[in-house]
Structure 1
């Protein structure tokens, strides 16, 4: 789908943790923190594949990385201040926004960035990192449009965005580990639950090449519409039943 796995991982972990009887006070925190930790190996796998094709613009990645990491840490801190119910509402709202964008098929105009746009790297990176750290995603839904707006082709933007997901995931996961000290379970570090991280990351990395192959053989536009409708349902459920 060309999107970060966090959109699927967080709702999935919320359901599984609920079924396992986790403390409801920190259900969302553990799901989001674990999602960011899961994104670390998946981002490495993805960026390496794009790097081998020479598609990653590393100067842009390094330019955005400080803001992305600072923002992800800020997002983790913000999440630690919110209740699990509020985090569910925020994540559900984000799903609705992503679904709306996917259904509208509105794309940014390539090359429409103003002069001096490199000065935007720190504030834009911080904004993307904050939202990503707050809801447990790799940031691709925001990074790709920004890079296309800067003049990159869509494939180049997707490849560079994949690399940008790594600093977000590392900083965000570390933030949730620190903010959740003493509040997690016996098998967690802070708000990062390791059994879920290991299991989901292993199968995500193994399944990613299959997804890449299917993207070239299935009607992606139709799949995106179906996936967007799924996001709408999940988002509304999180908001209405949080």
Structure 2
């Protein structure tokens, strides 16, 4: 189990730095499947498997997105003038989303994750803007747009444990960003969601007297988180050399392909 987590942590690091996602889209299906296989669906951990997977994913993202943000900062691919206005609103949305997740049935949460993925894939493929090559002329948004979209992104991301990249990358892409810029900005935009969401999952689960045994803080599986973070650190170091080197249209197509692969895994489990 530990080597599998380490290997998938490495994959998480690669996809985080190159595509702006990884923590949720890889950790949630993997950890959900492992918990069910190890403990069964009728055990206390098995019944909380989706909540544990989502909460642990948000915790892993604190470290993954933080490291990836540093790498993109060094590479000079971040646009802080576009990132800063979103961060507070995403953090607010994350608290709301994590609170809602703790009051939802785990099976419903899994299907919400699947529907969210499917709609994102269809939207990116069939709506103009995502698949076309961009010259990276990004159009700014109004304060009202930034606030409303930030809260929505943070809410859905924390609810499903996937980070904001699945919404911020298509959003920035349609506003003229290249894939390199869009995926670079997805990392610092996921960071406030990850911090707010993790703290909410820990605090609210403790208040509800959820006890899943040692190495758990609320719904966060600390042991799994540590191993995944270690693998993620290796993956980020390996993938950093490819920042800005993937052709724009190929970058966009690989992004969609990865989403399709994760969708297949979540439907199969």
- TM class by smaller structure: 0.7 to 0.9
Q: Higher mean Cα deviation, 103-112 or 49-58?
A: 103-112
How far apart are the structure 1 equivalents of 2:125 and 2:172? Answer: 20
Measure how far apart 1:16 and its partner are: 1.2
Q: Deviations over 1:42-86 (max 9, x none)?
A: 111110011112222223322111110010111100101101111
Task: Find the counterpart in structure 1 of residue 26 from structure 2.
Answer: 8
Task: Find the counterpart in structure 2 of residue 154 from structure 1.
Answer: 179
Task: Find the counterpart in structure 2 of residue 76 from structure 1.
Answer: 98
Preserved contact between residue 20 and residue 184 of structure 2 (Cα < 8 Å): no
Alignment of 1:205-216 (within 5 A): 205-213=233-241
Confirm or deny that 1:231 pairs with 2:262: yes
Alignment of 1:17-36 (within 5 A): 17-21=35-39, 23-36=45-58
Preserved contact between residue 102 and residue 224 of structure 1 (Cα < 8 Å): no
Structure 1 SS opposite 2:162: coil
Q: 1:217 to 1:68 in 2, by over 3 A?
A: closer
Structure 2 SS opposite 1:137: coil
Q: Higher mean Cα deviation, 88-97 or 148-157?
A: 148-157
| RMSD, aligned CA | 2.8
Under a length normalisation based on structure 2, what TM-score does the superposition of the two structures give?
A: 0.77
Q: 2:197 aligns with which of 172, 184, 197?
A: 172
Q: 1:107 to 1:209 in 2, by over 3 A?
A: farther
Number of residue pairs aligned between Structure 1 and Structure 2: 237
> Structure 1 regions of 5+ residues with no counterpart?
none
Q: 2:228 aligns with which of 191, 200, 204?
A: 200
Q: Deviations over 1:203-235 (max 9, x none)?
A: 012112334557858975775565344233224
Preserved contact between residue 72 and residue 172 of structure 1 (Cα < 8 Å): yes
Under a length normalisation based on structure 1, what TM-score does the superposition of the two structures give?
A: 0.85
